[in-house]
Amino acid sequence: MKTVEQTLRSLLEDQTASGTLGPGGKLPTERDLAGHLAAPRSEVRRALANLERDGLITRHVGRGTFLTEAASHRFSGAPPDTSPAEIMQVRLTVEPPIAALAARLANQADLDRITGYLEAGGRSDSYEDFETQDSHLHRAIAQAAHNGLLMTMFDVMSTARALPVWGSLKRRTSTPGRRAGYHEQHTRIVTALSERDPAGAEAAMRAHLREVSENMLG
């Protein structure tokens, strides 16, 4: 069963794909979304906060909530027939060099945000929550590279992680032990970032993604 956030993301993706909602387009109010999604306003508010944190929407007091330019690229991203093997090939090509850039260019606010997601992932006691924090962590590392074009490419790549084939396989191959291992690997990546060690960050990210690939694909 989809969470409120997943349902809201799917709704925005569908509206973007159909042309109903474009960059700068205004979203319905929290009350209207709660009614449409048949969900408590508190859950809708939490989902919107996560979308804002991911750079998909902006919220302005007294004006409303609006779709960002980045969201339009992200929601129109990966082909629906993209396979898990293709996703991992691209991730292994793109994310380790991004980690190296982040180690050189991240500011303290970036590192604090990344560390926050790392700690939240370590506290996660469910598959869904861990996956949410995992996604936030990897995106925050990409944001720390401070390269708009690279960020757009990353977001397009990340749309593939929302495809049913990826989610189904990831869930089937996820265990508490593996999630604990991923957290340890995340910790090594973040340590290298904090120590301003580009080579270490790149190597740690590559090792982590290879482990994910092995666990999912064999």
Question: Which residues of the chain are modeled with pLDDT < 70?
Answer: 1, 17-19, 70, 72-78, 80, 162
**C-alpha closest to that of 48 among 36, 40, 58, 63:** 58
Contacts 24+ apart (CB under 8 A), 138-141: 138/95, 139/54, 140/110, 140/113, 140/114, 141/95, 141/98, 141/99, 141/102, 141/114, 141/189, 141/193, 141/205
pLDDT of residue 114: 97
pLDDT of residue 11: 84
For the chain, what are the domain ranges? Answer: 4-74, 80-217
The predicted-structure confidence for 24-54, as pLDDT tens digits, reads as follows 889 999 999 999 989 999 999 999 988 888 7
- Angle of CA points 117, 38, 44, to nearest 5°: 30
> CA 63, CA 116: separation in Å to the nearest integer?
30
Structure tokens at 35: 């009614």
pLDDT of residue 55: 80
**C-alpha closest to that of 48 among 109, 15, 81, 7:** 7
pLDDT of residue 78: 64
Class of domain 4-74: mainly alpha
**Span 80-217: which CATH code?**
1.20.120.530
> CA 208, CA 218: separation in Å to the nearest integer?
15
> CA 174, CA 80: separation in Å to the nearest integer?
23
Are 215 and 98 in contact, with CB atoms under 8 Å apart? no
Structure tokens at 181: 């291992």
> CA 194, CA 29: separation in Å to the nearest integer?
39
**C-alpha closest to that of 17 among 74, 65, 68, 66:** 74
Distances (CA, A) of 34 to 31, 49, 67, 147, 204: 5, 14, 18, 35, 41
Torsion of CA 123, 120, 2, 217, to 10 degrees: -80
Tokens 């999630």 belong to residue: 179
